Amino acid sequence: MIPAPFEYRRARSVDEAIRLLAENDDARLLAGGHSLLPMMKLRLAAPSLLIDIGGLDELRFVRRDGDAVVVGALTRHAEVAAAAELTGPFGALAEAAAAIGDVQVRNCGTIGGSLAHADPAADYAAAVLALDAEITARGPDGERTIAAADFFAGLLTTSLRPGELLTEIRFPAAAGVSVYEKFAQPASGFAIAGVAARLELDGAKKCAGVAVAATGISDRPLRLTAVEAALAGKKADAEAIAAAAARADDGIDDVREDLYAQQDYRRHLLRAMTRRALTRAAS
C-alpha cells in the first residue's frame, strides 16, 4: 500500500518540533516509524505533515537520578533492553523491551513512540503501569507530568494534548524485583496477554510491596488490583501465588476478543501469565 501524499520536515530541536506541531493541526510526529508508517500505508492515518524527531539525541538516554531511573522518549527498544540501570525493581522494563517485535523493530522503534501510539497489546504499557512511571510531555503551554495510571485513555488514545511531545519517562525509586511475562502472537510479537509484576519481600518472605499490570487484555493496560490485594502481606509461596493469580481477571468486563484469542482463552492466558510472572519475581 502507498500512503497519501504528505510533506516532510526534520526537526532540529524539541522546541522546533513543538512549533511545527502548533503551526500544522494535521501534523504527526515521526520517531522510529514502526507504528505510524504501517497505519499510513493502510490509509488509517493520513497526516499532511510528518515532523521527523528521530535525530533529537537529547531525548535518547537511560540514566540514574538518585534511586530513580529516567529514560528519554527516543531511546530505542534495544537500548532499553541492554541498559545496565534497568535491573532489580526496574527489570520488567528491560524485559518488555527485549520482547518487542524482532531485531529490526528493536533497533529502530522507540519507547516514546510506543507509549504515544498506545496499542492495546504493546509490551511497555504493562511495565510502566506496574512501575508507577511518570511521563513528561512538553507543548506550547510548557512541561507537565502525567502519571502512568492517567496516561492511557483507550484504544490508541492517550492523555497527551494536541501539540504535545513526549520527552521522557521517569521510574521512581522502588525496591524488590520486577519481571515481564507474555504469551505472544507469533507473527507480530504483540502480547495476546502480557503481565508485569513487581514484588518486594520482607525478611519472612512476605509481600511488603506488590504491583501487577497487564497488557493485551482490554483497550488499555490495566492494574490487576485484585491480585495485588490477594498477595499483600502474604508469604509469596506457590499456594498464595496461585490463589492470587486466579483472581487476575476479577472485575475486568471488557476483555478483548480477536482472531488470536476469544475472551475465555484470553482470561486463561492472563491468569497463567500472572502466575508465571509472580513465581519468577518471588524466586
pLDDT at residue number 1: 74
pLDDT at residue number 34: 82
Separation CA 85–CA 71 (nearest Å)? 10
Separation CA 153–CA 221 (nearest Å)? 9
* Nearest in space to 188 (alpha carbons), one of 1, 38, 4: 38
* Domains of the chain, earliest start first: 7-52 (3.30.43.10), 57-171 (3.30.465.10), 179-282 (3.30.390.50)
pLDDT at residue number 7: 96
What are the strands of the beta sheet with 27-30, ordered from one edge? 7-10, 49-52, 27-30
Contact 176, 209 (CB under 8 A): yes
Print pLDDT tens along the chain (283 aa): 799 999 999 999 999 999 999 999 999 999 988 889 999 999 989 999 999 999 999 999 999 999 999 999 999 999 999 999 999 999 999 999 999 999 999 999 999 999 999 999 999 999 999 999 999 999 999 999 999 999 999 999 999 999 999 999 999 999 999 999 999 999 889 999 999 999 999 999 999 999 999 999 999 999 999 999 999 999 999 999 999 999 999 999 999 999 999 999 999 999 999 999 999 999 9
pLDDT at residue number 35: 87
What is the reported pTM?
Answer: 0.96
Place of cell 476483555: 255
pLDDT at residue number 141: 95
Separation CA 15–CA 276 (nearest Å)? 44
pLDDT at residue number 62: 98
Please provide residue 53's backbone torsions phi and psi, each rounded to the nearest 5 degrees.
-110, 10
* Cβ atoms within 10 Å, residue 68: 15
Q: According to the 3-state scheme, what is the secondary structure of the chain?
A: CCCCCCEEEECCCHHHHHHHHHHCCCEEEECCCCCHHHHHHCCCCCCCEEEECCCCHHHCCEEEECCEEEEECCCEHHHHHHCCCCCHHHHHHHHHHHCCCCHHHHHHCEHHHHHHHCCCCCHHHHHHHHCCCEEEEEECCEEEEEEHHHHEEECCEECCCCCCEEEEEEECCCCCEEEEEEEECCCCCCEEEEEEEEEEECCCCEEEEEEEEEECCCCCCEECHHHHHHHCCCECCHHHHHHHHCCCCCCCCCCCCCCCCCHHHHHHHHHHHHHHHHHHHHC
